Copies of this chain bind each other. A is one copy, B any other.
């Protein structure tokens, strides 16, 4: 993992705070003045970095979808390079990657399936295409591990498991588990169990 050590740019600060605010109160529920205030500048100052409020959301959503897909592709090709690893190992790697994302970037996960319709047509098409590729990649691996699943059932199962893994924002409140590791383990086991049961 290539950990960033340099300070975040102003653009990155803005994106991070905008993601948090959008996740908390919805895209239309947040004003540009609030986003500006969250990074210590005033509303119109944001326009030195972004073309508009829409552009911030677009960059966030395209970034998320791209990052998920890129990570999944990397994991898949690493597995192929390893030669002998079974499909089950690849699936475990995909699950782990998705869980890492869901736990580390909860606001983004929230935005990802909540504010897609607020995008311009072209941006929305791009995001949907990235999402579709991501799903299809999962479907392929899942069907290798659970050959009993037909394609439509596998696709439904994948969407449902995403719903399961993306429940992390709801987990924070109340009696949380021991720690991050325990939550990740639990989610991983449940995802596997759900797929296995889907095969029936």
Contacts and interface: CB of A to CB of B under 8 A. Distances in A.
A59 interface: no
A29 B118 contact: yes
B183 A189 contact: no
Contacts of A45: none
Copies of this chain present? 2
A175 B197 contact: no
Interface residues of A, number: 48
Q: Which label, helix, strand, loop or mixed, suits the secondary structure of the A interface?
A: helix
Interface stretch (A32-40, A62-70, A72-80, A164-172): A164-172
Contacts of A189: 197-198, 200
Given A118-B29, A177-B153, A193-B197, A159 B186 contact: no
A26 interface: yes
A160 interface: yes
B163 A177 contact: no
20 contacts: A25-B117, A26-B26, A26-B27, A26-B28, A26-B115, A28-B28, A28-B29, A155-B174, A156-B176, A156-B177, A159-B170, A160-B167, A160-B171, A161-B164, A161-B190, A163-B164, A190-B194, A193-B193, A193-B198, A194-B194
